[in-house]
Amino acid sequence: MKISVIGTGYVGLVTGTCFAQMGNAVTCVDVDEAKIAKLQEGIIPIYEPGLEEMVKQNAQKGSLVFSTRLPESLQGAQAVFIAVGTPMGEDGSADLRYVLAVAQGIGEHMEHPLVVVTKSTVPVGTADKVRQSIAKALEKRGLAVPFYVASNPEFLKEGAAIKDFMKPDRVVVGTDAPEALEVLKELYTPFMLHHDRFIAMDIKSAEMTKYAANAMLATKISFMNEIANICERVGADVNQVRNGIGSDSRIGYSFIYPGCGYGGSCFPKDVQALVKTAKDYGYTPRILESVEAVNADQKTLLVQKIVARFGEDLHGFTFALWGLAFKPETDDMREAASLTLIHLLGERGAKVVAYDPKAMEEAQKHYLKEALHVHYVKSKYDALDGVDALVLVTEWQEFRSPDFVEMKQRLKNPIFFDGRNQFTKSKMQKYGFEYHQIGAL
């Protein structure tokens, strides 16, 4: 099938590439000319395991084409996916400017029946707005070409995006016309050959499913962080509590890891957008407001622990940071806990030596351009030379089994703040470290 994917961010690029991999003819479109030029040369703007090879292979075969021209991408296409960004507006709601601009563009240029699918995470009711934008543009042209809107939220995880897309837990599709459902079913059937994971529903429910899923996961994390904070005060160990509750299949072991707060492009933005939507409809979602508030506090927890250990004034202290990305296997820095930590340490006069396997360039170029108190090094051990303490923020695999003897030799003080509870206190004490973790003494 010939399809067009608008927006070459995380979701758009992965969606387009995976559809091409399944034998479809895909055009990925973006307004950013520099980005498209790079993609045409096989240069991928993000780090995502497996993506680069798959893009190159499909581009070579001709099944994946990159372009800045929306009109041409629609020629002969049966479906067009809108996968542009929906940044968080000032008031916490999702900014639909880009989505609706694409919808208008589609209406201005489509020549034959088309299924228009929103893949970006968009508030309930957006499909209706997309429909209106297209209809208005068509009307201006005096054309009556039939088109269908559909919602197909994306559930992929960064760092596992290709795997998640190629072998999805579920594909949620919201439609209100059999024609649209049929096209989407045909596109997705190859991804679930042995097990039907296609969940069809109405459009608004599909839009809501994405927010409900992310809000539930964010709630699990904030809930667990709250339990961890109580554990610390009463002298319990959250690591043991986590095992204890996870064994109940109704609760499960996943997404109950306490830490220094969730980050990324989805949870913070989606929880806030859902709060905003609820309030727009006259309902105050108290749990979701707390999920957000607990997370904001949790991002400051490592600094609270550092201050408790070294005092309020951190002038003259230097801290090594292991990990900058919001989670492992990505160079994504959006809403990362490291940003809050670095900012607060700087405010108190401390210096930071940072190391991340993939995100240092991203951090230096965009997120920490003005953070002059941060110095970057090329290896995790180089970060330790003569610093006052080590702080682990992102649980990259290469931090899981480090050489503790070398670490101790290089650090000025063998003090370790572990924001992701990667080790046990007894082990760390054996190596002579003073070990601070989350939710356990």
Residue 137 vs 321, nearer CB to ligand UDX: 321
Shortest separation between residue 152's beta carbon and ligand UDX, angstroms: 12
Enter the DSSP assignment of 156.
P
Binding mask 305-344 for ligand UDX (x = CB under 6 A): ---------------------xx-----------------
Residue 327 vs 425, nearer CB to ligand UDX: 327
| 150 token code pair | 């559909």
* DSSP secondary structure letters along 325-367: SSSTT----TT-HHHHHHHHHHHTT-EEEEE-SS-HHHIIIII
Residue 211 vs 376, nearer CB to ligand UDX: 211
Residue 269 vs 410, nearer CB to ligand UDX: 269
Residue 423 to residue 205: CA distance in whole angstroms: 42
Give start and end residues of each alpha helix (H) in 235-299: 238-246, 267-280, 286-298
Q: What is the footprint of ligand UDX within residues 185-214 (CB under 6 A)? A: 214
Q: Is 221 in the site for ligand UDX (CB under 6 A)?
A: yes
Name the residue among 294, 388, 309, 304 with its Cα closest to residue 341.
304
Binding mask 78-107 for ligand UDX (x = CB under 6 A): ------------------------------
E strand map for 146-208? 147-151, 171-175, 198-201
Shortest separation between residue 332's beta carbon and ligand UDX, angstroms: 8
Q: Is 268 in the site for ligand UDX (CB under 6 A)?
A: no
Name the residue among 233, 392, 422, 265 with its Cα closest to residue 336.
265
> From the CB of residue 344, how many other CB atoms can be counted at a distance below 10 Å?
18
Classify 29 as helix, strand or coil: strand
Q: Is 256 in the site for ligand UDX (CB under 6 A)?
A: yes
| 368 token code pair | 């920490």
Residue 101 vs 192, nearer CB to ligand UDX: 192
Q: Is 231 annotated as catalytic?
A: no
Shortest separation between residue 27's beta carbon and ligand UDX, angstroms: 24
Of residues 267, 355, 396, 417, which one binds ligand UDX by CB under 6 A?
A: 267
Q: Is 118 in the site for ligand UDX (CB under 6 A)?
A: no
Q: Binding segment for ligand UDX among 70-78, 141-149, 253-261, 348-356 (CB under 6 A)?
A: 253-261
Q: Binding segment for ligand UDX among 1-9, 103-111, 250-258, 370-378 (CB under 6 A)?
A: 250-258
Of residues 188, 223, 255, 367, which one binds ligand UDX by CB under 6 A?
A: 255
Shortest separation between residue 227's beta carbon and ligand UDX, angstroms: 12
Of residues 12, 105, 263, 419, which one binds ligand UDX by CB under 6 A?
A: 263
Residue 274 to residue 121: CA distance in whole angstroms: 11
| 222 token code pair | 């904030």
Output b/e per residue, 102-131; b: 16+ Cβ within 10 A.
bbbbbbbbbeeebbbbbbbbbbbebbebbb
Report CA Rg, the chain.
24
Residue 332 vs 388, nearer CB to ligand UDX: 332
Residue 108 vs 297, nearer CB to ligand UDX: 297
Residue 74 vs 221, nearer CB to ligand UDX: 221
Shortest separation between residue 201's beta carbon and ligand UDX, angstroms: 17
Of residues 16, 105, 259, 268, which one binds ligand UDX by CB under 6 A?
A: 259
Q: What is the footprint of ligand UDX within residues 391-430 (CB under 6 A)? A: none
Backbone angles phi, psi at 381, to 5 degrees: -75, -35
Give start and end residues of each alpha helix (H) in 168-261: 178-188, 203-234, 238-246
The residues, any chain, with a CB within 8 Å of residue 188's CB and separated by 6 or more, are 171, 173, 198
Q: What is the footprint of ligand UDX within residues 154-183 (CB under 6 A)? A: 155-158
Q: Exposed, middle or buried by CB within 10 Å (0-12, 13-18, 19+), for 155?
A: middle
Residue at 392: amino acid letter: L
Residue 327 vs 410, nearer CB to ligand UDX: 327
Of residues 107, 264, 357, 414, which one binds ligand UDX by CB under 6 A?
A: 264
- Do the beta carbons of residue 237 and residue 299 sit within 8 Å? no
Name the residue among 167, 286, 148 with its Cα closest to residue 219.
286
Q: Is 433 in the site for ligand UDX (CB under 6 A)?
A: no
Cite the active site residues. 266
Residues that bind ligand UDX (CB under 6 A): 155-158, 214, 217, 221, 255-257, 259, 262-264, 266-267, 326-327
